[in-house]
Chain A
Amino acid sequence: ETGVTQSPTHLIKTRGQQVTLRCSSQSGHNTVSWYQQALGQGPQFIFQYYREEENGRGNFPPRFSGLQFPNYSSELNVNALELDDSALYLCASGTGVSPLHFGNGTRLTVT
């Protein structure tokens, strides 16, 4: 079985720009969720998608948005980037009952 893959691995953006991060779910998984992990902290839940609809959201502003596609791959979009958005962004896939399997993450730096 293929695992969760994320792209790109690293990304540098300027404040105010927009960014799109991508994730391919593990085969057989139908949910995808995104987490933000600031340096030295535990991951924070951003949102979750199931059947191409958002069905859970953490304490993140609307400029964080996402998509899930029919093949269960997903995108995380962040508009109007701020310096505090610099973090490791983790994608995870699951089935709602199984343990989540995470990708290797995308490290975003906002300058």
Chain B
Amino acid sequence: AQKITQTQPGMFVQEKEAVTLDCTYDTSDPSYGLFWYKQPSSGEMIFLIYQGSYDQQNATEGRYSLNFQKARKSANLVISASQLGDSAMYFCAMREGRDDKIIFGKGTRLHILP
């Protein structure tokens, strides 16, 4: 079974609109962390936002927020006021326990339209 599921292979969004990228996860470990990374066509993997399993509040970083619904095992990324530079591949990822093994989803390719 997949541990990280991203059901949207691609999305097209008009510039300045908000966009939600979906992510569901599966783990039996009570301690885990959820990440979102952005990968432009250049290939670099850029860290965007992190949510710990014990964090009470949803994480926010500038225009990025993580809609964490623990009971549903969902960790959607919300980008407010999208910009042309947001066009990239977005990966949801999970770390279980305390090590650096990260499990990635298959990604969502986001296209921002002018």
Q: B56-71, CB under 8 A of A: which get 1 and which 0? A: 0000000000000000
> What is the size category of the interface that chain A forms with chain B?
20 to 34
> Given that A48-B99, A56-B99, A100-B100 are known contacts, is A42 also in contact with B105, CB under 8 Å in the complex?
yes
Q: Is the CB of A42 within 8 A of B107?
A: yes
Q: B39-67, CB under 8 A of A: which get 1 and which 0? A: 00011111100100000000000000000
> Given that A42-B91, A96-B98, A97-B98 are known contacts, is A90 also in contact with B45, CB under 8 Å in the complex?
yes
In the complex, A81 has a CB within 8 A of chain B: no
| Residues of A32-90 contacting chain B, CB below 8 A | 33, 35, 41-45, 48, 55-56, 58, 88, 90
Q: Distance in Å from the Cβ of A74 to the closest Cβ of chain B? A: 12
Chain B interface residues (CB < 8 Å from chain A): 4, 33, 35, 37, 42-47, 50, 91, 93, 98-107
The 3 closest A-B pairs by CB, nearest first: A42-B104, A102-B45, A33-B100
Chain A interface residues (CB < 8 Å from chain B): 31, 33, 35, 41-45, 48, 55-56, 58, 88, 90, 92, 94, 96-97, 99-105, 107
